[in-house]
Amino acid sequence: SQELEQSPQSLIVQEGKNLTINCTSSKTLYGLYWYKQKYGEGLIFLMMLQKGGEEKSHEKITAKLDEKKQQSSLHITASQPSHAGIYLCGARMDSSYKLIFGSGTRLLVRP
């Protein structure tokens, strides 16, 4: 979706390296959701951010939402092959329920 831009489109890193994926909107977001998808499977919910400046972590994955609530980043520390997949950000652009998704970032972690 052009309303939500993800970068980079794809990423190849060596196991053990850190990486960051970005999700940017031209509008203030009401909520930002990060999902992971493996090929041929559904989306796995990772984290939800709603407040400006909010930061959440789960295991080696940290997600942040900037103060303006227009940009979010997903950071993986000490990447592992199990982190490989497609990372999707989804956002609520208004007070309704509807989620708009970015096109995804394809991550490959080389052992």
Q: What span, in angstroms and rounded, lies between the C-alpha atoms of 48 and 91?
A: 9
Q: How many residues bind another protein (CB under 8 A)?
A: 23
Answer yes or no whether residue 98 interacts with another protein by CB under 8 A: yes
Question: Reduced to 3 states, what is the DSSP secondary structure of residue 82?
Answer: helix
Integer angstrom CA distances of residue 17 from 79, 82, 83, 107, 108: 5, 13, 11, 12, 12
Query: What minimum distance in Å lies between the beta carbon of 24 and another protein?
Result: 14
Residue of 29, 35, 65, 79 interacting with another protein (CB under 8 A): 35
Residues of span 46-85 touching another protein by CB under 8 A:
48
Q: What span, in angstroms and rounded, lies between the C-alpha atoms of 88 and 21?
A: 10
N residues, the chain? 111
Answer yes or no whether residue 24 interacts with another protein by CB under 8 A: no
DSSP classification of residue 27: S
Answer yes or no whether residue 88 interacts with another protein by CB under 8 A: yes
Q: Which stretch binds another protein (CB under 8 A): 53-61, 66-74, 76-84, 91-99?
A: 91-99
Residue of 45, 53, 55, 57 interacting with another protein (CB under 8 A): 45
Which tokens sit at 21? 């994926």
Which tokens sit at 103? 């096109």
The binding site for another protein (CB under 8 A) comprises 1, 4, 31, 33, 35, 40-45, 48, 88, 90, 92, 96-99, 101-104
